[in-house]
Amino acid sequence: MRWSTENLPPTQHFEQWREACRRHVYALSPERRGRGHFQGSISRHEQDELDVTDIRCDGHLVRRSQRDIDEQPGDTYYIYLQGRGRVWFEQQGLRCVLESGDMVIADPNIPFSTGTDQLFDFRLWRVQRRRLQARLRLGSTGLAMHRIEKTQAERELIANWLDVLLHQHEGLAPPNAEIALDTLHRLVASVIDQAAPPQEPVRRARRRALLARVQREVTRRAAEMDLTPERMASAFGMSLRALHQLFALSGLSFQEFLTKARLERAQALLRAPECGHLSTAEIGFEAGFAEVSTFYRRFRQRHGMTPGEWRVGTASEADMPTR
């Protein structure tokens, strides 16, 4: 089966893409900003239990919500193999970024989201749920999303076996085809079972370490007036929702932390002798505030005085003789 936007009216490309995904992939809820150019193609091969789909399309956001799952539950698990470019995945609070050659094994009956600003370019293998589940030791949360990096030997083994099945399946006698499929499910199950889910304290430590990395980057880029949660989420390969959840660990929202970082930068500039020629408004701009009124208001809320009053007070303290 081959499907493409190529011969469709441009205004219908994305809407038709939504429907094609529901018919040939899974029930999904693609989202896209704007109404500009969009191209996409789907190529699918099915034979007995062998099901492989190649997808190429312009970048956008994709969700599989609980409503999508209820409307069209899947009877498979999927193996996602990244082609060109870079995408992010989020499922059950787990996040990962896939580079070219990386692989993910996951359950389509657990809500997930994925997206890229570049191109979606991947191969999706569907394996029978009943076969794989019989070989897995699953907890109450089901099959957690499992990433296999391209450098891992297991990834190469699974990818090679999948390719052999794709190109040799038609020539195999039924008993041998059954053995080949069973071997695939054993390989995948063994890789998943090797990856025990991290204990909760470890998970929290990893999230706090990630939060610290993001906060350092926000502080470093605080002077950029156009710094937004969306840009920062994209820089770290996570969804906007995941970014906000991460900042919730600190007790400050993204915007509150960014404002704090800008005010601290403004304080440093107001104290710096080499910035004495700058007005307080110019200091605000240098610190990353796009509006002078916002700078003055936030500064007064934090210090109980205007930037100018704070600067004078700081200078007076510096001039006081030491004992």
Same domain, residue pair 185 and 310: no
- 214, 293: one domain: yes
If 0-12 CB within 10 Å is exposed, 13-18 middle and 19+ buried, where does residue 281 land? middle
Residues 122 and 135 in one domain: yes
Specify whether 192 is located in the same domain as 213. no
191 and 73 belong to one structural domain: yes
Per-residue pLDDT of 287-302, as tens digits, reads 999 999 999 999 999 9
Residue 322 pLDDT > 50: no
Residue where the block lists tokens 């076969």: 131
**206 and 193 part of one domain:** no
Best CA proximity match to 244, nearest among 227, 261, 256, 262: 256
pLDDT digits (tens, 9 = 90+) for 223-261: 999 999 999 999 888 889 989 999 988 888 999 999 999
Quick count: other Cβ atoms within 10 Å of Cβ 240?
Answer: 17
DSSP 8-state secondary structure symbol assigned to residue 28: -
49 and 191 share a domain?
yes
- CATH of residue 220's domain is 1.10.10.60
Q: Are residues 182 and 222 in the same domain?
A: no
- Is residue 197 scored above 50 in pLDDT? no
Q: Where are the beta strands (DSSP E) in the chain?
A: 2-4, 29-31, 40-47, 50-58, 61-64, 76-82, 87-91, 94-98, 103-106, 112-115, 119-128, 146-148
pLDDT band at residue 323, thresholds of 50, 70 and 90? very low
The DSSP-derived string for 235-299 is HTT--HHHHHHHHHTTTS-HHHHHHHHHHHHHHHHHH-GGGTTS-HHHHHHHHT-S-HHHHHHHH
- Looking at 178, 197, 216, the residue that finishes a domain is 197
| Res 310 pLDDT > 80 | yes
Shared-domain flag, residues 193 and 206: no
303 touches 312 (CB < 8 A)? no
Over the stretch 29-43, which tens digit does the pLDDT of each residue have?
Answer: 999 876 678 999 999
Do 62 and 193 fall within a single domain? yes
Within this chain, do residues 109 and 209 fall inside the same structural domain, yes or no? no
Mean pLDDT computed over 168-185: 83
Q: How many domains is the chain built from?
A: 2
Whole-model pTM: value is: 0.59
Task: Write down which residue in 173, 197, 221 finishes a domain.
Answer: 197
Range of the domain at 10: 2-197
CATH code, domain with 186: 2.60.120.10
In tens, the pLDDT along 94-148 reads 889 999 999 999 999 999 999 998 899 999 999 988 888 888 876 656 787 888 8
Same-domain status, 19 and 120:
yes
